[in-house]
Structure 1
Amino acid sequence: MGEKPKGYDLADYVLGHFSKQELEVMKESLYKVDGAINLMLEDKVDVAMNEYNKKSKGE
């Protein structure tokens, strides 16, 4: 989420709309969550952990 910009009300910042960049990050994250959950439902927890617990570039 990042630090609140100066001049923003904290509640407005936290409860406000997502930026285009934040929406893209959420879209990628939800895609990964979907894949991980499907693997776990197939009883492939180890595969899910190995595939989705990797750090992405920039972390």
Structure 2
Amino acid sequence: MRQVEIGVDGGAVKTSVEDWPFNPPFDLHDPQYSAMEIGRDGFETAWQRAHRAPDG
């Protein structure tokens, strides 16, 4: 599982299972997030452009 969060400034942070021991990703089954869902190709493009969150 992977996630990309796009900030209000347009910056993107990518996280994966290794990053979520205490902060799981958003519940993607929650209806409020359904409008934010993108397709596979769009996600892969966003993943490649995003950076890792700084440690700590």
Which bin holds the TM-score, normalised by the shorter protein?
under 0.3
Normalised by the length of structure 1, the TM-score is: 0.26
- Indicate the structure with greater strand content: 2
Q: TM-score, normalised by structure 2?
A: 0.27
The structure whose residues are more often helix, as a share, is 1
